[in-house]
Amino acid sequence: MKNVSIIKALILTVITINMAHAQTIQKRYEQNPFTLVYDGAITKNEKGKVNIHPVKYKLNGIDIAANVYTPANYDASKKYPAVVIAHPNGGIKEQTAGLYAQRLAENGYITISADAAYQGASGGEPRHTDKPASRVEDIHGMADFITQYAGVDANRLGVLGICGGGGYTLKAAQSDKRFKAVATLSMFNSGEVRRNGFQNSQLATIQERLQKTTEARTQEAAGDKMIYAGVASITDEEIAKTSTDLYREGYEYYYRTYAHPNSTFLYTMSSLLDLMTWDAATNMDLINQPLLMMAGSKADTKYMTDEAFPKAVNAKTKELFVIEGATHIQTYYKPEYVSQAVTKLLSFFQANI
């Protein structure tokens, strides 16, 4: 009986520790003065080190919330190359976009990552609107702001898009030639997936879903309740039963280990009217800048990078860099995969901006 009691006590201790650990992780944003949730995030600005500067600016009348990172020993009278970073679908500037922004700043770049309009800490109504034209405009807007920032050499501007931000980056770079070098990580073609389903799993229901989207738009126009698509919350059991790496690991990332109250998988149903007729991989021939596309070898989203990359027939140079062993979400946070991506980005930007 004594041994049983000891075992029960040990089990209870382990459960208590795990629960405390989970609570710590879930409230990670509360432990950082900038609400950053990625590993190794800046906790305070110190002279001579990489610093973070929360900023706000207007874009088409909407307040945009962004973070600018400046390199160690930043001197506003000098000139630095800069990189714009577009966050993933459902993501915000405090997650993986911030991680890559900080890592690039540690290597001499002034970087900016902003919450998309209608999302995160940025303004815009209705909330969680997720339209491609707006997401692309967000990238142009970051370029507007950062090229006017003290110390930035406007002629040495690069762009990095992650996940959905990667798809929107491809589109933004087709017309915006301020971007001298274009990079994507784990590119996600939002239009293709909303239209065809993930891995083309919903081809048979395209018209049915368009009809539901049309009805949602009609309901909104009548002033009725807003209809949302996506996932508002999820249980551990539901996460475990999710069959695809992208969504299972994504739920874990966004709702557990790197959760932030401003991050959500919700978007207005009416956004699909725009999303389902849009495609990141159209007009790829308009990209004439150097292009780097990176994806994990085990990423179940890699097919989207593989589809888009060959279409960039006019890119000055182009490279498809495969991160061996990585899934889509693992490129957001796993040190060994982040380091590979950052090392590749540094050589790419150093050569081209």
Mean pLDDT of 24-46: 90
pTM of the model: 0.92
Q: How large is the angle between the packed helices 164-175 and 132-146, nearest 10 degrees?
A: 70
pLDDT at 1 over 90: no
- Band (5; pLDDT cuts 50, 70, 90): low
Which amino acid belongs to residue 347? S
Q: Is the peptide bond before 81 cis (omega within 30 degrees of 0)?
A: no
**Cα-to-chain-centroid distance, residue 166:** 8
Mean pLDDT of 321-349: 98
- Band (112; pLDDT cuts 50, 70, 90): very high
pLDDT attached to residue 265: 87
What does the pLDDT look like over 162-191, one tens digit per residue? 999 999 999 999 999 999 999 999 999 999
pLDDT at 353 over 90: yes
- Residue-wise DSSP of 99-131: HHHHHHHTTT-EEEEEPPTTSTTS--SSTT---
Say what percent of the chain tops pLDDT 70: 93
pLDDT attached to residue 27: 84
What does the pLDDT look like over 267-293, one tens digit per residue? 999 999 999 999 999 999 999 999 999
Rounded to a whole number, what is the distance in angstroms from the first to the last CA of the chain?
71
What does the pLDDT look like over 9-28, one tens digit per residue? 444 443 333 444 444 444 89
Q: Given phi > 0 = left and psi -120 to 50 = alpha, else beta, which region is 40?
A: left
Mean pLDDT of 75-82: 98
Q: Which tokens belong to 151?
A: 């110390």
- Band (232; pLDDT cuts 50, 70, 90): confident
What does the pLDDT look like over 59-68, one tens digit per residue? 999 999 999 9
Coil vs helix vs strand at 24: helix
Q: Which tokens belong to 23?
A: 């609570």
Mean pLDDT of 229-241: 93
